[in-house]
Amino acid sequence: MPFDLPNVPDITQPELAARLQQLLDNKTKPVGSLGRIEALAQRIGLILDSDTPALVSPQLVVFAADHGLVARGVSAYPSEVTWQMVQNFLAGGAAVSVLARQHGMGLTVVDCGVAHAFDPQPGLVISKVALGTADSLEGPAMTEAQARVALASGAALVRELSGNALLLGEMGIGNTSAAALLLARLCGLDVADCTGAGTGLDAQAVQRKIAVLRQVLDRHAAAREPLAVLAAMGGFEIASMVGAILQAASERRVILVDGFIASAAVLVASRLQPAVLQRCVFAHRSSECGHALMLAHLKAEPLLDLGLRLGEGSGAALAWPLLVSACALLREMASFEAAGVSRQEEPFGGTIPAN
């Protein structure tokens, strides 16, 4: 499946930004009193090219795949948990299933490369590239051809989804290792600073994980370009997310980014098309230690900091109501003039004029 890099142009619009700011400043409140919700409303308005933005038919997509590197003991859980959790998502029993149901959003689970044969069932898209990636300590996690297939499948999926908002989720035992490797190589960081406990490793096991990841980075020292790094480190679900992000950005959808793994996909996508970041809202800062470093590199300020480390898109789903509220406030909150409310008085009796 060929992959043509979607065009993601710069959407900086000074006139619209100024109009949005004027609308926010004219609402019946002290200027800036809604804090970061105001910046969020402006960002969504710029993404959707509207001063009355509305989020329509949000789509939460969980990308799932297995990782060959798990055989090296980098995870507290066996690979079988990946396919078992996919079934849990589809049965409605996972955290993200509950949250998607609560907020009335579409939930799609994508088999990008799970080491299991699923029966066709509602809510499941089978786009399997292979039965998990290869062991990246022995060679590339995937060939560049496989990476391009995964990118193309992620982009094709988004083209078929309704709505103007994409929430990113993932499932893949071992994928914190892939994310840490991508962060270390693409940002030139020490992998020890990028690597955490994942699904629950103890301190000694984390040190073993770091040692394995150092060997992987040494094994692929020549991989420096984004697609080469992605292919070397994995995984299929991350590559599919990259394709989905690029497509969603090209369509000017709002992209709500979950935690460490989803942010790693954004990191890769932004190296291919920097303006991707203009379309992204970062839901939360996870407790996985590399995530704070990744957010800092992306110059991203997440909405929440709740100590989450579940993945699945759960943090994105939890943050979703903030986006809905930001849009509603921008569209529906009255101006001083419309409400007949007096403005704040100046210290010596005058009033602050309208912008």
Alpha carbon distances (Å) from 24 to 29, 39, 93: 9, 9, 40
Mean pLDDT of the region 225-246: 97
User: How far is 186 from 203, CA to CA, in rounded Å?
Assistant: 26
**Catalytic residue check, 312:** yes
pLDDT digits (tens, 9 = 90+) for 178-220: 999 999 999 999 999 999 988 789 999 999 999 999 999 999 9
User: How far is 287 from 321, CA to CA, in rounded Å?
Assistant: 22
pLDDT digits (tens, 9 = 90+) for 32-61: 999 999 999 999 999 999 999 999 999 999
Q: What is the DSSP string of 227-272?
A: HHHHHHH--HHHHHHHHHHHHHHHTT-EEEE-SHHHHHHHHHHHHH
Q: Looking at the domain that runs over 59-320, which CATH code has it been given?
A: 3.40.50.10210
- The rounded percent of the chain whose pLDDT value lies above 90 is 93
Query: What are the structural domain ranges in the chain?
Result: 59-320
pLDDT digits (tens, 9 = 90+) for 246-305: 999 999 999 999 999 999 999 999 999 999 999 999 999 999 999 999 999 999 999 999
Confidence of residue 343 (pLDDT cuts 50, 70, 90): confident
**pTM listed for this prediction:** 0.95
Which residue do the tokens 């992209």 mark?
A: 255
Choosing from 170, 312, 345, 346, the catalytic residue is 312
pLDDT digits (tens, 9 = 90+) for 4-15: 999 999 999 999
**Peptide bond before 315: cis, by omega within 30 degrees of 0?**
no
Is pLDDT at 28 greater than 90 in this prediction?
A: yes
